[in-house]
Structure 1
């Protein structure tokens, strides 16, 4: 963890020396880390998608062979083996969590008290946003991936629309957790949420193109 923290600190200072702005430096560092972790993240999404498909197939098999237990057991065994392989892909993605948490910690512990051109109305990125612009932006950025299914060209059959009550609760929770946090952390959270949005769009387009090729 100390090695990861040291690398992230060095990278953050490098981006600051390059740009002269801590806010921009945080954005660049966050984008760099998320880009490096992108293969694992996409593998996780693919594994989850395979898990959903396998679950549907298993339910269909149970209905199809409900009167033939031996055949059902044989078919289920094959699908359970595939399911176990898909779960390994999900477990690999957890390797990215320590890196993300360390990045969060590095930004939270920044020993600087200066503003950023990105948010000109604040004097220090260690303070909370008194105008609540960042909490609202973070809530919108967090919600955006869940709204993609409402666009026909991004809708994937295996994805279900999130209930409106859940969307509202997610918005409220996102605002509450960012009201008092330092702006430096808010910039990180918004950047990583927008990156996740782009990642989700790319993954959905990949799934749609793959289904068309079959």
Structure 2
């Protein structure tokens, strides 16, 4: 953990020395970390999609052989063996946890009391946004991935759309998370959210080439 924290601290200071703006440095560091984790994230998404397809296929087998228990058991075991390898990939997502956690901690514990040209109405990134503009931007950025299932070109097979209730809850929680949080964390959350949107679009384009898109 200390090694990861030290690397992130060094990287943050490096970007700050180059840009002279801590807000921009946070954005660059967040993007760098997300780019490094992107291959793992893609594997996780593929594994999650495989799980959806797995559940759908299992239901089809149960329906097909519901009147033949012996055949149902044989086909079910065969199906589990065929799909076991794809399910292991989801464990790769666990590798992201210590890195993302340490990045969050580094930003939270920044020793510098400086502002940023990105948010000129605050004098320190350790302050919360009294105008609540940052929470509002974060709430909107969190909603952006939810529009993708409604775009036919990028729609994945067997993927359910979020209900309006879930979207509203997501918006409210996103706003509350950054309501009194330091501006530095707000910048981190917004950057992460927007990168996730771009990453999701890239994944869906990749999935289209693999025939996973409707």
Query: What residue is the counterpart of 1:100 in the other structure?
Result: 100
Per-residue CA deviations over 1:36-79 (Å, capped at 9, x if unaligned) read 01111100000010111011000000000111222211111122
Per-residue CA deviations over 1:7-54 (Å, capped at 9, x if unaligned) read 000000000011110000000000000100111110000001011101
Query: What residue is the counterpart of 1:44 in the other structure?
Result: 44
Per-residue CA deviations over 1:99-149 (Å, capped at 9, x if unaligned) read 001000000000111110111111111100111111111111111112211
Q: Tell whether the 8 Å contact from 1:50 to 1:86 is kept in structure 2 after alignment.
A: yes
Query: What residue is the counterpart of 2:69 in the other structure?
Result: 69
Per-residue CA deviations over 1:80-107 (Å, capped at 9, x if unaligned) read 2244323321111111111001000000
TM-score by length of 2: 0.96
After TM superposition, what 4+ stretches of structure 1 lie above 4 angstroms from structure 2?
none
Does 1:136 pair with 2:133?
A: no
Query: What residue is the counterpart of 2:30 in the other structure?
Result: 30
Query: What residue is the counterpart of 1:178 in the other structure?
Result: 178
Query: What residue is the counterpart of 2:156 in the other structure?
Result: 156
> Which is further off, 53-62 or 85-94?
85-94
> Which is further off, 31-40 or 146-155?
146-155
What is the root-mean-square deviation of aligned Cα atoms in Å?
1.4
